[in-house]
Amino acid sequence: MRLRDPAISKRRILAVAADEFARKGYDGARTDEIAQRCRISKNLIYHYFDSKEALFIAVLEDAYATLRERQQAMKLEGSDPLEGITRLVIDTFKYWAKSRNFIAYLNSENYYNAKHIRKSKAIRSAYPELIENIRGLLRRGEQQGVFRSGVDPVELYISISALTYHFFSNQSTFSVIFGRNFRARDVIKERLDHIEDVILGYLRFKPTARGKIERK
């Protein structure tokens, strides 16, 4: 199969590269294999992408663009605080449930200390809008008396991301360690319910005093 249209060629290369990087990691993926699967020359890959690193960055940018579109579709701006946070938790959970490739990229990228993400302005600009929308939800929730005060939107999003992403990135190991099928539909539903309770319970909790534990 010969790919003549530049746009089609680039999309095909990105799709195949996305699968290769997900299955084999950054180190294991080879441009020779990607070219062979695309039925094109390796030179054509380097025509569109200067290097293997540039190709991986493009794959990451594509994945983050999809995530950003999903976040924008939630329409958090102006929504009811409880409804908005609940929607954010549920949608983030469902996103990671269907984004195994992205999980693999992030595992690889964390191994490299975000080496490739640092080189992409597009990726770094993916979150400010979401954080501002969360900030608005928290502010409205505080004004309505349903949320505690002083919650950092970045910290909250990291908590939501951690509770959802970590579950799906560790399903296989959790299933072996705990002797439970964490891929079962009922177990996944229970996990989502638990995460909702944890996040909303935290936001609704208004501490009057906090015991101090010495941190060494």
Residue 16 Cα distances to 31, 32, 98, angstroms: 10, 12, 18
Residue 102 Cα distances to 42, 65, 117, 127, angstroms: 24, 11, 13, 16
pLDDT of residue 214: 59
CA angle 204, 187, 20 (to 5 degrees): 105
pLDDT of residue 213: 55
pLDDT of residue 1: 43
Residue 4 Cα distances to 12, 16, 36, 64, angstroms: 11, 17, 16, 27
Question: Where along the chain do its domains lie?
Answer: 1-49, 60-204
Structure token digits, residue 118: 């640092």
Residue 104 pLDDT greater than 80, yes or no: yes
For 1-49, give the CATH class. Answer: mainly alpha
Question: Domain 60-204 belongs to what architecture?
Answer: Orthogonal Bundle (1.10)
Q: What is the pTM of this model?
A: 0.83
> What value does the mean pLDDT take over residues 158-170?
95
DSSP state of 201: H
Mean residue pLDDT of the chain comes to 90
pLDDT digits (tens, 9 = 90+) for 64-102: 998 888 888 888 888 899 999 999 999 999 999 999 999
pLDDT digits (tens, 9 = 90+) for 123-153: 888 788 999 999 999 999 999 999 999 999 9
